[in-house]
Amino acid sequence: MDLHTPYAFGKSVSAPFSLVDSKIRTELQKEGFGILSEIDVTAKFKEKLDKDFRKYLILGACNPTLAWQAFGQELNIGVLLPCNVVLYETDQGEAAAPETAVMIMDPEAVLSLINNPLVADLAAMVKAKMERVLAAI
């Protein structure tokens, strides 16, 4: 199932969370992205609030070459980086057929806030890479 919002794009995958997590990291690396940050939302809610929550992971992905170029155009761009990639277990899957959603921040939508054509060109490149990552999952 395709998932789109005004600020992100993604899809649901009929696969266990751990398999999708591994695959997304591999595909991000193929496109030149590293993981700068990782937030296990499930663990944080348990630790801070003693609340149970579905498996939910936020990966802060960055392509250093493109980030370097973006910082050269807009020093304050750091408030909009890195590109977040989110994985979570959906309510649709069953034990026999688990389902995992993958959502990727739309860099064109987010970086359009800057209103800089050079940054817009970089955002389009990042989006194309992220679309390839998603297609490979």
**pLDDT tens, position by position, 11-34:** 999 999 999 999 999 999 999 999
**pLDDT above 70 (res 119):** yes
Instruction: Locate the DSSP E strands across the chain.
Output: 2-4, 8-13, 34-40, 56-62, 83-89, 100-105
pLDDT, tens only, 94-106:
666 789 999 999 9
The domain of 43 spans 2-136
Mean pLDDT for the chain overall: 94
For range 117-128, the mean pLDDT: 95
How many structural domains comprise the chain?
A: 1
What is the C-alpha separation between 81 and 37, in angstroms, rounded? 11
What confidence tens digit (pLDDT) does each residue in 44-68 have? 999 999 999 999 999 999 999 999 9
Contact by Cβ (8 Å): 3, 12? yes
CATH number of the CATH domain containing 79: 3.30.310.70
Q: What is the pTM (predicted TM-score) of this model?
A: 0.92
Intra-chain end-to-end CA distance of the chain, in Å: 12
Please list, in sequence order, all residues whose beta carbon lies within 8 angstroms of the beta carbon of residue 36, skipping any fewer than 6 positions away: 60, 61, 62, 82
Which tokens in the block code for residue 131? 């679309």
